[in-house]
Structure 1
Amino acid sequence: MLTGNFGTIRLGPRGGITGLDLPALLIQAQALGYDQPLLARLLPFAERGMVAGSAKVQTET
């Protein structure tokens, strides 16, 4: 779901990931026939992991 939706990733001024556009992802999930309640529970965890990974990369460089 996330790999093909780079437009739903919110970026900060320095290029780091600040979050996901969760409403847009849920609309796409509905259009694709995915289980929206399940994704509504899982996407915040994916968002936290992406933000943490981006922050780690930003501090290592």
Structure 2
Amino acid sequence: YDLPEEYWEVYRSQIEEVTAEQVREVCETYLTRDRMTLLAVTDAESVLEPLSELGTVDLV
């Protein structure tokens, strides 16, 4: 990829500078329920009721 020699060092330091508050803000902006899909591979009877509280459930 022709990355500069110090790429991973700089990348790591940038990641370490991210705060929990910044992560929370990004999650609130981009990880909204109306834009999410949840896939659960399990016994439907055991999770149908709890998952229904989150929204529409389609059994496949």
* Higher Rg of the two aligned structures: 2
Is the TM value for this pair above 0.5? no
**TM value normalised by structure 2:** 0.30
The structure where strand makes up a greater share of residues is 1
Asked which structure has the greater RCO (Cα within 8 Å, sep 6+), the reply is 1
